[in-house]
Every structure is written in C-alpha cells, then in structure tokens.
A and B are shown apart, each in its own frame.
Chain A
Amino acid sequence: MSRELFKFNGGIHPPQHKAESTQRPIHPAPVPHRLIVSLRQHIGNPAKPVVAVGERVLKGQMIAAAEGTISSAVHAPSSGTITAIDMQTVPHASGLPDLCVTLDTDGRDEWIARAPLDHLQLSPADLRAQLRNMGLVGLGGAVFPTATKLDPGKSVKVPTLILNGAECEPWITCDDILMRQYAAEVLQGVSVMRYMLDSDVVLVGIEDNKPEAIAAMQLAAATLPFAVEIVTVPTLYPGGGAKQLTRTLTGIENPSGSRSTDVGIQVFNVGTAYALYRAVFHGEPLISRLVTVTGFVLRPQNFEVLIGTPMQELVQLAGERDGATGLLMGGPMMGVPMPRTDVPVVKATNCILVKSDELFPPLPRALPCIRCARCADACPADLQPQELFRFAKSDDFGRAQEYHLFDCIECGCCSYVCPSHIPLVDFYRYAKSEIWAREKEKIAADQARERHEFRLFRHTREKTEKADKLAARAQAQRAERAVSNPPAELATATSASTDPEADAKKALIAAAIARAQAKKADAAPKNTDNLSAHTQQEIAEIEARRATIRAAAHQPLEQEKNP
C-alpha cells in the first residue's frame, strides 16, 4: 500500500553524513561526577527549584517544579548531593548564564520509587498533570511541553496523529538509531498519544535514507492492535520540519499563525514517543536522551546521555581529535554554536557536532545580494527571503512582518543556496528577536501609561473626596446649629430679612462671636476675687516687671544702636 505524498516548495539536498554515526549501537554514557541541570530546558516558564543546596536527591527525584500553564518539571538525572543552585553557562547562542542546579553524583545511581501510570484508568487531565510533573517535553528540538500538546482542547479529538521520524538534518542519527533499536517501545508511546488525542489515523513519516529504521518500525507496527502507517518520505531537507512533514503526508498546509491542531493534526517526534513510553510504562521521568556525537571525532556514535552531562565529556567519549574548532548543538543547518565546550546537555540536545576547518570551512566573505531569488526557490515556507533580508538589514521590521517573517522556520535553506554567501538566517533571527524586544517594550510602556494615568486619576479623586468631606462636615455643623438655635429667634433678633441663606450666615457669625466671647471669659483668671492686699500688691509688682521687660525687649540693643 502506498500513500499519495505531496510536495512542499523548495528544499535542498545537503550531503547526508548519516553513515558515520549509525555504525555503532547506542552506548550508555557513564554517569559524570557533576551534572549541571538547567531549569529552562523547555518552551515556557522556567521550572522553580524545590530542593535546597546540600540536600541528597535520588535519581528521578523532582528538583524543580513546573510553573505556570506552559512549563515542565526538571528531575535529578542521578543520585547525589545538590551542591549549588546558581547561574551557569547554558547551551545557548548568547553564552549567557541561567539558573541551573548542580548535582554532585555519588555513583550509586539510586532510583527513586517508580510506579507505572495506568493511563487507561487515569482521566486525561490527571495523566497530563502527571506527565507535566515527569518533565516530558518534545525532543525534536523545540522542547514544547508534551502534556500541553496532548490536550486536544475544545476540539475533543485530534483526528490525525503524525509521528516524526524523518530526521532530515544532516549528521544527526539519534532518531534513526532509536527507531532501529526501540521501535516497539516507540509505538507503545504512540499508543498512549493515540489514546489521549483520540486519533483515527496514525502516520509515521520516515525519510527513505533510513531503510533499517523503516523495516524495524514496520515489523513493530504489525504487532499492534491498531493501524499505524509507516510512510516512507523522500529525503529532502527540511522534510522533517513539522509543517513540511504534515504537508508531505497529508497535503494540508497550516494557515499562517495557526496551530496544527486547528487543522486536526498533531505532530510528535519519535524520541518524545519513547520518553512517553518510559514515563507511562516504567514511571521514569525524562532524565536522559539520545545524543548523536559526530563530526570531527574519532568514533562518531549515539549515546544515551543523562541530562546535565557536560558536552566535553561526551566529545572525549567519542574520541577527541586535535584541530576541533568548536561545538554545534544540533546539525549543521540549524545548530547553534556553543559558547563553551563544557556546557551541559539539555533536553533539546539531539546532536553535538564537533567542527573543524576541514569539515566546515569558514564561509567566504558575503557579497551583496544580487536578487537572484534562488533563496525564494529553496524556501520551504513559501517566503521571499531576499525581501525579508532587505527589510531586516534596514531595520524595517514592520515590512518584514508583512512579508511573514514569523513563518520562517530558520531551516537555513536560503543561506545554503545563496551564491553571495549571505548569512540570511542570522538576519531573520536578528529581526525576530528585535521585534520581540520591541513588543515587550511596548507592553511595558502601555503598562507604565496605565499606571501613570491611574495615579493622576487617583490624585484628582482624592482631592475631590477631601473637598466633599469638608463640605459635608460644614453642612452637618450648620444643620446642627440650626437645630440648637432655632432660626426664627435669630431672625427676629437681627432683622426681618427675607433671605434665609443670609440669615443663616448671620446667625453663624453671631454664634461664632458668642463662642469667642465665652472662650475669652473662660481664659480669664478666675481666682482674682477676694485677694488680700498683700497678694494684690505682689501681682501688681510682677505685672510691672513684665511690662519693663517687654519694653526692654522692644528696644534695640546698645551695640546695635551704636555700631
């Protein structure tokens, strides 16, 4: 049975270099002395540490919990003692440090208690929560939390489930070797996915340069109680991109800015399916993954690596050679250069490619764009890379967005075919990050505006409230007085005025005068009656003294008079 396949625009045929690392079986890398586990290994919010420095942890124990809607937990890859929770250099193009948990292993590799999940008994929401706590994320490179992807949402079901085993990027073979050795386990993981998404059709797309993997998967699929179609797709970079594989297998193209679930499709990497199998059937959180170590090394191969293992140790395991010029995380097309060789492996690390001048000669100097549009011919996202380049270079980000910059998958086909050797993708990455930064600034500015306006509003409100309060108090006093001194009496006492307002005011004034006189009378000394003549004289003397002092105080001083 052969399925009708569809073509996407462009694509390229770079040299494969797959054979180098598929000659050896998967080799479990030894537990390193020190593991550095980054807490930002997935898309979304970084995980929040739940352990303290000095604490002993077991293999598979949660060391950081998921935070927010889109997030994932992080676990101890081996048993040992937490020695630091601080900023460490992470495998990122920026070379900036980020929060990491450092774990000194004790070599015992002691597991925490594990229990398989009964996925058929648990409710989907509970199962998703469990998977989120097990740190499951997509292992194809985008590291999107798997639990979120396994939520069909409002549509209740996702009719088509696609398993991505295309692995189109040159040099990388971790998915290939995984399918060869663990095909049955991968498909067990698929069965859980199918159950959660209630899918009708399950397609596995594998490029035709992996015949062993295709054979192994077909063999395993034959034993399953549900239909899984193993589809051989032509080898064409970037045929393993989620959007491109969807197009190849189903002919459906995601509208710009929409999600694949909007068209009833969900795509998972084979590595994710395997991790899901380990989580559901063995209760193991995501603490290790397959990593291809290849390029300029003596023994290119795939390792089963604990998350947090320094890349340098893997390079040494594969046989370090003199003349290496740095590491790429990922393949030659989309990989990012590592700031240092001792950065730790993260969940997104599918390949460590050791560079050398011989294998990856430095690009010749870029020449001006001649607008040959070869990049447009190669672009699998149907974009106009030459226009995007023009806008990105001149910081005209608005126009770049109009030309759908954000549909660019950064596959590097345009840079690969460019006869002027322009690093086009670097320009798109620059433009994208600049646009994101501006959006963040805009949000911050809007927030500041809102807060400032509220402050002004609050000030006016406080002012009017104060004025109102004073007025109300005055009114109340007036009313009180009107009750105690009936206005009729006052009116007769003053004049026969007809204006009640004026009368009230006059009454108020009269009352105030009366109050002031009463106060004065209160303040006057009251014990001055019936004094003896002697006391009277004393008082008179004191008063006289006071008068002379007062007079002297009003006189200018001698020296002031005659300076």
Chain B
Amino acid sequence: MLAAIGVMTAIAVVVGVVLGWSAIRLKVEGNPLAEKIDAILPQTQCGQCGYPGCKPYAAAIAAGDADINQCPPGGEDGVKKLAELLGVEVKPLDETHGTPKPKSVAVIDEQTCIGCTLCIQACPVDAIVGAAKQMHTIVAAECTGCELCLPPCPVDCISMIPVACDLPHWKWKPPVFTLKLVA
C-alpha cells in the first residue's frame, strides 16, 4: 500500500518536473495559430473586417472573437482555406463587411493633387511617395488596393483602377468539361 503510494508520488513528481521544465524551455513565442491564419489572409491591410489590419484579424480569429468570413479581399477561396485550417464549416462571405472586388490599384490624378500628405499617412504599406505641397504618386507594384487612401483625400483625386490582365499575368481558363445529357 505504502509502496504503491510512494511509486505514484514519485511518478507524479518526475512527470511534474518534466512538464514544468518543458513548459518553460519549450515555450513557443507568439501565437502559431494566428500566424498560420495570417499567412492565409491576403495582406491588403484594408480593415474591412473591422480590425486594424490582417494580423489583428488573424489574432481575433485565433482567439475566437471573429468569424472566418469577414475578409472580402480573400474571397470565398480564403474562407475555404481558413475553414480547412480551423476545421470548421465553410460559410458564405459576410456581406456587411463588403463584397469581393477585382484587384485594383489606386491612381492619383496628379493634376488635382494638392500635396496634403493625408493619403501618405493613411497608406498601410507605404506605397505612396510625396511630400508636403509636392505632388504625390502611388507605387503601383506595392499598392494592395485597400482603398484606405480614398476617404482622407480632401480633393478626391484618387481613383481605383482595376488591374488589366497582361501577358505575364494571363492564366489558362479551366477547360469546359460538359457531360452529355442522357435523359
């Protein structure tokens, strides 16, 4: 009887020490789930989900505070991937957060721009070049099409231009594979 209790206690102590040690030494920094979710999100940093960027939204999904269908730029495909990662049901995009749009880039009408720098401060990826009272312009390659520069512009000189498909970005269409109707 005593021996059994002793053995059990000894095991408990050993296991406790091992677990305690590993909890400290093998601790994973950050939230690995949030990082995985962040890797799926499109990184437009548009804030349409209601969070100030993709990373906070990823953290909110990981914490269970946000749903997986709040990201319009990610589209249905993004929802599908998130559902797969989290092992939950796929659901349609939440329309209250906006609808998916074709990929666009912001273009500044340089004739109208007054050089107020408000758009530069709004751009989440520093894709706008310019200085106070100097013309601003957008680095198209860096623009994520988040539209965050549109509301602060006092002269409405920024417009969103959908990206036209050029040769290097052209994709083969999925072949139409129609089956013959028998009945």
Q: Which residues of A contact B (CB under 8 A)?
A: 40, 90, 92-94, 96, 98, 365-368, 393, 422-423, 426-427, 429-430, 432-434, 437, 440-441, 444-449, 451-455
Residues of B contacting A98 in the complex (Cβ-Cβ under 8 angstroms): 166-167
Which 6 residue pairs across A and B have the least CB separation, nearest first? A445-B43, A448-B43, A426-B175, A451-B125, A94-B170, A433-B171
Give the complex CA separation of A444 and B169 in angstroms.
Answer: 13
Give the chain B neighbours of A433 by CB distance below 8 A.
170-172
Complex interface bits, B159-183 against A, C-beta within 8 A gives 1, otherwise 0: 0000001110111111101111000
Q: How far is the CA of A426 from the CA of B172 in the complex (A)?
A: 8
Give the CA-CA distance A416 to B39 in the complex, in Å. 41
Contact A427 B175 (CB under 8 A): yes
Q: Are A445 and B175 in contact (CB under 8 A)?
A: no
| 0 or 1 for each of B29-73: is its CB under 8 Å from A? (1 = yes) | 000000000100111110000000111000000000000000000
List 9 other contacts, CB 8 Å, given A445-B42, A451-B142. A40-B167, A429-B172, A430-B172, A440-B169, A444-B144, A445-B41, A445-B43, A448-B144, A455-B124
Q: B167 touching A448 by the CB < 8 A rule? A: no
Interface size band for B: 20 to 34
Q: How far is the CA of A433 from the CA of B170 in the complex (A)?
A: 8
* CA of A96 to CA of B170, assembled, Å: 8
CB–CB A446/B43 < 8 A? yes
Chain B interface residues (CB < 8 Å from chain A): 38, 41-45, 53-55, 124-127, 142, 144, 165-167, 169-175, 177-180
Complex-state Cα separation, A337 to B169, whole angstroms:
19
Give A193 to B151 CA distance when docked, in angstroms.
61
Query: In whole angstroms, how far apart are the Cα atoms of A366 and B45 in the complex?
Result: 44
Q: How far is the CA of A518 from the CA of B175 in the complex (A)?
A: 88
Determine whether the beta carbon of A452 is less than 8 Å from that of B124: yes
Please report whether the interface of chain B is mostly helix, strand, loop or mixed according to DSSP: loop
Q: Known A448-B144, A449-B54; judge A430-B171 contact (CB<8 A).
A: yes
Q: Is the CB of A449 within 8 A of B43?
A: yes
Report the tally of A-B residue pairs with Cβ distances under 8 A.
78
- On chain A, the residues within 8 Å of B165 by CB distance are 96
Task: Assess whether A454 is in contact with B126, with CB atoms less than 8 Å apart.
Answer: yes
A426 to B167: give the CA distance in the assembly, Å. Answer: 18
Interface centre among A441, A451, A453 (most CB of B within 10 A): A451
Q: Do A365 and B142 have beta carbons less than 8 Å apart? A: no
Report yes or no: A366 in contact with B177, Cβ–Cβ below 8 A: yes
Residues from chain B with Cβ under 8 Å of A441 in the complex: 42
Task: Determine if A96 and B166 form an interchain contact, defined as CB atoms under 8 angstroms apart.
Answer: yes
When the two chains form their complex, are residues B170 and A455 in contact, meaning their CB atoms are under 8 A apart?
Answer: no
Please list 16 pairs of residues, one from A and one from B, whose beta carbons are closer than 8 Å in the complex, sorted by A's number: A93-B172, A94-B167, A96-B165, A98-B166, A365-B178, A366-B178, A393-B177, A427-B174, A430-B175, A434-B171, A440-B169, A445-B42, A447-B142, A448-B43, A451-B126, A452-B53
